[in-house]
Amino acid sequence: GNSVTQMEGPVTLSEEAFLTINCTYTATGYPSLFWYVQYPGEGLQLLLKATKADDKGSNKGFEATYRKETTSFHLEKGSVQVSDSAVYFCALSDLRIQGAQKLVFGQGTRLTINP
Amino acid sequence: DTGVSQDPRHKITKRGQNVTFRCDPISEHNRLYWYRQTLGQGPEFLTYFQNEAQLEKSRLLSDRFSAERPKGSFSTLEIQRTEQGDSAMYLCASSLVRLGTVNQPQHFGDGTRLSIL
């Protein structure tokens, strides 16, 4: 079945540091890939997505590239801010039009940015 | 766009009681999903609706769980005879799926946190 593996957290960085959160996946076919962010006490917000190989998703300074050859979708940001502190989830969903298109999530990576 | 709304935000109940949660999706969205998230884990799929039809249920959804979307708008998730293992965040998401398009992003509500005493 489909699965997503994220680097274990928690991750603690200083403000303006470079961020990488690793994500690899296992899937049949060609899934779409997503990064969601969850702030304390809130639901999940879509951060970025990529629907096919070599696509780069980007938003709010974050970016991730869909790498089919390495089955990876690593999240990066060049200079993090305190406000980026949250839990980040990598996810995939089935591309099949008639399918459920349900999301399969990784376990999440808690990110803390210190001033 | 008022977003996905879930009610209540928190529910504390004793083991053995029944609980019901409500989800109001984004108004034009025809797909509605329920997920469960336990502490320190990612959300896990429970079930989804296309309009009023419940099209798939996860093995996580035991007989004590039932979900409805009677008019293809809001949905309810009921848990009967709650157990301590039911303690989790229950998340609702919605999306618009049109014929010939794929993978419109799912928009999530803030969830209902259930605590079983």
Cβ–Cβ gap A44/B44 under 8 Å: no
State residue B60's pLDDT score. 87
Cβ–Cβ gap B110/A104 under 8 Å: no
3-state DSSP call for residue A37?
A: strand
3-state secondary structure labels for all residues of B78-114: EECCCCHHHCEEEEEEEECCCCCCCCCCCEECCCEEE
Residues in chain B closer than 8 A to A97 (CB atoms):
99-102
Residues in chain A closer than 8 A to B110 (CB atoms):
41-43
| Half-sphere exposure (Cβ direction) of A108: Cα atoms closer than 13 Å | 18
Q: What string of pLDDT tens digits covers the 117 residues of chain B?
A: 579 999 999 999 999 999 999 999 999 899 999 999 999 899 999 999 999 999 999 998 899 999 999 988 999 999 999 999 999 999 999 998 887 766 678 999 999 999 999
State residue A94's pLDDT score. 78
Q: What is the mean pLDDT of residues A52-57?
A: 94
Q: Please state, for a pLDDT cut of 70, what percent of chain A lies above it.
A: 96
Residues in chain B closer than 8 A to A4 (CB atoms):
42
Tokens representing A94 are 């089935």
* Chain A residues bordering chain B (beta-carbon distance below 8 Å): 4, 32, 34, 36, 41-46, 49, 51, 89, 91, 93, 95-97, 100-108
Pair B108, B96: CB distance under 8 Å: no
| A115 cis-preceded (ω within 30 degrees of 0) | no
Q: What is the mean pLDDT of residues A39-67?
A: 93
pLDDT tens digits, one per residue of A78-115: 999 999 999 999 999 976 656 678 899 999 999 999 99
Tokens representing A89 are 């989830």
Average pLDDT value for chain A: 92
Residues in chain A closer than 8 A to B107 (CB atoms):
46
